């Protein structure tokens, strides 16, 4: 039922030209283990920015930042795992190799390329229809960062090898503590119902983020609100500042670990006022949001996953045929 309620803001089919249909999603990301948001191995400090604490509270504080790239890259890779499993990644036309991220060789035909976009392909580029922005921690970074000393002893149980050489694997590294909350806004432009299921499925199924994510970086994503309209929601910074003011007004202790239920209630209070803002038409109720997540879980279940992904993949076929015909015509004219 919730998908039907969003119908006015969903595209009936994939289209090449934008028409201003916008789905906004409010996401709470909570670290479940030590997490590192920086370029792996370079030793620079954790990503953080000095911003105003709240809308009313004008004090300047340092907040941790989960950058756009740190969000979307793991989520794309998660979706591509399933596409690869069902053989729905195609061969890149120029390199004649399988479609792969960060290789300048996108296939330009798979679900991931059509939805998340590509550049430097064989014949041009496709703009992403999944818009992300930096997510900010609710609390100041001084509350949320710890230091961990890492060493790696040799099999002798010491830091020196058999020749007496000292191990270089000793360093101190910053990490984000477990239980840290980031508030985030994702925007989906002119997506179909199945593209919405695919993008939100990637978000809900991705559990590892940041550097050395094979060992740390466990995170839980929770969708707190879904909106339809003709414009973007307020930014994630505006959201986190509004929530910060609300927590102060409700006398919630602003210390780590922050009470998650109190944070969710404060966030709901802030976003429930957004339907009065320009360009935002409707918000799914809590029951409708639960129904939407059940719908996504069902489409990604083992029983329906293959049918769902192949149906989404086939929805791009008319555009692929037009593109192939255009390519052949271009070659004849040369």
Answer with the residue of higher pLDDT: 154 or 239. Answer: 239
Beta bridge partners, 183, equal: 28, 136
Q: Give mean pLDDT, residues 130-158.
A: 87
Q: Give mean pLDDT, residues 296-320.
A: 95
Answer with the residue of higher pLDDT: 323 or 71. Answer: 71
Start-end of H helices in 86-161 = 111-116
What region does 41 belong to: left with phi over 0, alpha with psi -120 to 50, or beta? Answer: left
Q: Which of 143, 112, 162 is nearest to 48 (CA)?
A: 143
Q: How far apart are CA 49 and CA 62, in angstroms?
A: 5
**Domain-by-domain residue ranges, the chain?**
2-74+127-139+178-318
Lowest mean pLDDT among 195-204, 257-266, 311-320: 311-320
Answer with the residue of higher pLDDT: 273 or 276. Answer: 273
Residue 73 pLDDT > 60, yes or no?
A: yes
* Reported pTM: 0.90
Burial level of 172, CB count in 10 A (0-12/13-18/19+)? exposed
pLDDT digits (tens, 9 = 90+) for 22-49: 999 999 999 999 998 875 555 678 889 9
Residue 92 pLDDT > 90, yes or no?
A: no
Q: For 321, list phi and psi in degrees, rounded to 5.
A: -65, -45
Residue 241: what pLDDT? 98
Q: Give mean pLDDT, residues 161-183.
A: 83
Q: How far apart are CA 32 and CA 295, in angstroms?
A: 26
Percent of the chain scored above 90 by pLDDT? 67
Q: Which of 212-226, 238-252, 319-333 shows the highest mean pLDDT?
A: 238-252
Kindly indicate the confidence band of residue 122, based on its pLDDT and cuts at 50, 70 and 90: low
Residue 328: what pLDDT? 59
Residue 262: what pLDDT? 97
Q: Is the separation of the CB atoms in 57 and 249 below 8 Å?
A: no
Average pLDDT, the chain: 89
Please state whether beta strands 280-283 and 22-31 pair in parallel, antiparallel, or not at all (unpaired): unpaired
Residue 174: what pLDDT? 86
Answer with the residue of higher pLDDT: 151 or 270. Answer: 270
pLDDT digits (tens, 9 = 90+) for 94-117: 778 888 887 777 888 999 999 999
pLDDT digits (tens, 9 = 90+) for 189-244: 999 999 999 999 999 999 999 877 677 899 999 999 999 999 999 999 999 999 99
Q: Give mean pLDDT, residues 311-322.
A: 88
Q: Give mean pLDDT, residues 173-187.
A: 94
Q: Which of 1, 33, 54 is nearest to 209 (CA)?
A: 33
């Amino acid at each position: 039922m919730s998908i039907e309620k969003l119908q006015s803001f969903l595209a009936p089919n994939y289209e090449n030209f934008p028409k201003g249909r916008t789905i906004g999603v409010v996401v709470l990301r909570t670290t479940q283990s030590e997490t590192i948001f920086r370029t792996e191995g370079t030793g620079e400090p954790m990503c953080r920015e000095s911003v105003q604490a709240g809308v009313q509270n004008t004090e300047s504080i340092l907040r941790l930042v989960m950058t756009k790239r740190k969000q979307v890259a793991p989520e794309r890779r998660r979706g591509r795992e399933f596409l690869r499993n069902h053989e729905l990644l195609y061969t890149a036309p120029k390199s004649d190799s399988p479609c792969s991220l960060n290789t300048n060789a996108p296939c330009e035909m798979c679900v991931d390329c059509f939805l998340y976009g590509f550049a430097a392909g064989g014949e041009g580029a496709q703009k992403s229809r999944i818009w992300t922005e930096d997510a900010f921690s609710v609390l100041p970074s001084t509350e949320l960062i710890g230091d961990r000393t890492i060493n790696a002893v040799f099999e002798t149980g010491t830091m020196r090898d058999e020749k007496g050489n000292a191990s270089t694997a000793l360093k101190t590294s910053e990490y984000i503590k477990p239980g840290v909350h980031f508030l985030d806004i994702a925007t989906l432009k002119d997506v179909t119902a199945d593209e919405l299921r695919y993008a939100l499925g990637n978000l809900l199924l991705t559990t590892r983020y940041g550097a050395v994510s094979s060992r740390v970086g466990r995170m839980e994503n929770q969708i707190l609100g879904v909106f339809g309209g003709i414009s973007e929601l307020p930014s994630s910074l505006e959201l986190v500042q509004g929530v910060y003011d609300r927590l102060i007004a409700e006398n919630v202790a602003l210390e780590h670990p922050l009470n998650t239920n109190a944070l969710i209630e404060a966030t709901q209070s802030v976003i429930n006022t957004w339907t009065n803002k320009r360009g935002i038409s409707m918000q799914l109720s809590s029951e409708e949001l639960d129904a939407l997540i059940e719908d996504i879980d069902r489409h990604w279940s083992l029983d329906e996953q293959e049918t769902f992904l192949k149906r989404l993949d086939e929805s791009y076929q008319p555009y692929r045929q037009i593109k192939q015909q255009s390519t052949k015509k271009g070659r004849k004219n040369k």
